[in-house]
């Protein structure tokens, strides 16, 4: 029987077994059906009539306010100076946990700026995003985690100040459009807070994969045009959003199983993205991979509207890091410590570099 503790520790061997033996399986501890095969996952994501997204109203409000969004070049003009400042902040120490001290702040400040919250709300969004990840991975097992989250999510003074300003002096930002539409903006921002920090997790996962593949890291250092493919491969190989939740609107058949109406499904994007029926040598990280499709941002009508933002922020953060610390490398004694399955977090990335060289 599959347990949540096993999934938290290392879900990929479990996904491989389930894809082969039972691509749709009931997990009593989770109270959900796990959907792990590429074709089954795609079928669920592509059929919103039978498999409905939870909190669809919040998703729709954000999508309407965000679209058409910014293109990658516009995003980069905002992200690059943010990343340069963050790199300067950690440079002189010669070492840092890049997940917490570099990638996280870059993602939070850049995304908060792009959404219209500004630097003042970035710390709050970062706290909310990290807290929600803990709650989702906790799955109700430890009440203290959920209780602590309630307190953190109640700390919204910094963001409330921004919203009050936008009500009296609106601009063209995403959040201003939400305010103008009379949406419950605080509730929506708390709901999407993980999306604000997701680019930092993706960048950290990509760097961890490159550290584990020195030849590919060398290729990326030499040819930065490979950073885009590297980030996209990072999304496939270990995207931070490991699973999304859907609920059946009626009894359905899926993957040879009969599922009742109102059942909850964990649709495992991370497993689909390593399905060997779609990807050759699927467990291998490969920046030169020819097949450029994956389900890291979902599919169908719920495909993530901010996909360009997420990948651009991650790519630019990595590019600036390699410029500022070209010799950045794992700290002595560092070992990967990823955890979680619905939200697969990279853990600390303890790094060192030569801070004595000319700046």
Q: What is the mean pLDDT of the chain?
A: 93
pLDDT above 60 (res 108) = yes
**47: buried, middle or exposed (CB in 10 Å: 19+, 13-18, 0-12)?**
middle
Contact 103, 215 (CB under 8 A): no
Q: Where are the alpha helices (DSSP H) in 212-279?
A: 214-222, 227-238, 269-272
pLDDT above 80 (res 70) = no
pLDDT in tens, 191-207: 889 989 999 999 999 99
What count of other Cβ atoms lies within 10 Å of the Cβ of residue 94?
A: 14
**Percent of all residues in the chain with a pLDDT value above 90, rounded to a whole number:** 76
Q: Indicate the pLDDT class of residue 357, thresholds 50, 70 and 90.
A: low
Q: Indicate the pLDDT class of residue 64, thresholds 50, 70 and 90.
A: confident
Q: What is the distance in angstroms between the CA of the first residue and the CA of the last residue of the chain?
A: 55
Task: State the greatest distance between any 2 C-alpha atoms of the chain, in Å, as a whole number.
Answer: 65
pLDDT above 80 (res 53) = yes
* Structure-token pair, residue 299: 């599919």
Contact 310, 195 (CB under 8 A): yes
Q: Indicate the pLDDT class of residue 61, thresholds 50, 70 and 90.
A: confident
In total, the chain counts a number of residues equal to: 359
pLDDT in tens, 230-268: 999 999 999 999 999 999 999 999 999 999 999 999 999
Task: Determine the pLDDT at residue 334.
Answer: 97
pLDDT in tens, 75-90: 999 999 999 999 999 9
pLDDT in tens, 279-335: 999 999 999 998 778 999 999 888 888 889 999 999 999 999 999 999 999 999 999
- Report DSSP letters for 142-211, one per residue: -HHHHHHHHHHHT--HHHHHHHHHHHHS--SSHHHHHHHTT--HHHHHHHTHHHHHHHHHHHHHHHHHHH
pLDDT in tens, 18-27: 999 999 999 9
CATH number of 4-332+340-352: 1.10.630.10
Neighbouring-strand partners of residue 247: 52, 264
pLDDT in tens, 162-182: 899 999 998 888 899 888 887
0.75 exceeded by pTM: yes
Residue 31: name the closest of 260, 231, 239 by CA.
260
What count of other Cβ atoms lies within 10 Å of the Cβ of residue 222?
A: 8
Q: Which stretches of 170-306 are assigned E, i.e. beta strand? A: 244-248, 252-254, 257-259, 264-267
């Amino acid at each position: 029987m599959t347990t949540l503790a096993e999934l938290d520790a290392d879900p990929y061997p479990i996904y491989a077994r389930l894809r082969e033996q039972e691509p749709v399986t009931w997990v009593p501890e989770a109270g959900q059906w796990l959907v792990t095969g590429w074709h089954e996952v795609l079928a669920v994501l592509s059929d919103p009539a039978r498999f409905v997204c939870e909190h669809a109203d919040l998703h729709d409000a954000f999508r309407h306010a965000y679209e058409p969004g910014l293109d990658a070049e516009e995003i980069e003009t905002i992200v690059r100076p943010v990343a340069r400042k963050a790199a300067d902040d950690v440079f002189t120490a010669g070492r840092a946990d890049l997940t917490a001290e570099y990638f996280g702040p870059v993602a939070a400040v850049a995304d908060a700026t792009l959404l219209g919250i500004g630097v003042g709300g970035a710390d709050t969004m970062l706290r909310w995003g990290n807290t929600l990840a803990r709650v989702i991975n906790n799955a109700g097992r430890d009440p203290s985690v959920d209780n602590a989250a309630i307190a953190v999510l109640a700390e919204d003074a910094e963001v409330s100040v921004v919203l009050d300003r936008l009500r009296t002096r609106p601009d063209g930002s995403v959040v201003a459009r939400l305010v103008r539409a009379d949406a419950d903006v605080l509730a929506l921002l708390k709901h999407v807070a993980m999306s604000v920090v997701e680019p930092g997790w993706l960048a950290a996962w990509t760097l961890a994969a490159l550290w584990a593949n020195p030849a590919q890291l060398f290729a990326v250092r030499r040819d930065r045009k490979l950073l885009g493919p590297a980030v996209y491969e990072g999304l496939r190989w270990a995207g931070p959003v490991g699973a999304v939740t859907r609920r059946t609107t009626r009894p359905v058949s899926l993957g040879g199983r009969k599922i009742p109406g109102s059942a909850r499904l964990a649709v495992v994007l991370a497993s689909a993205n390593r399905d060997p029926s779609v990807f050759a040598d699927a467990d291998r990280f490969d920046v030169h991979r020819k097949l450029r499709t994956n389900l890291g941002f979902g599919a169908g009508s719920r495909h993530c509207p901010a996909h360009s933002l997420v990948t651009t922020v991650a790519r630019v953060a990595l590019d600036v890091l390699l410029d500022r610390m070209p010799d950045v490398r794992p700290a002595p004694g560092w070992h990967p410590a990823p955890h979680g399955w619905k939200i697969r977090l990279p853990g600390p990335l303890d790094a060192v570099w030569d801070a004595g060289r000319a700046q």
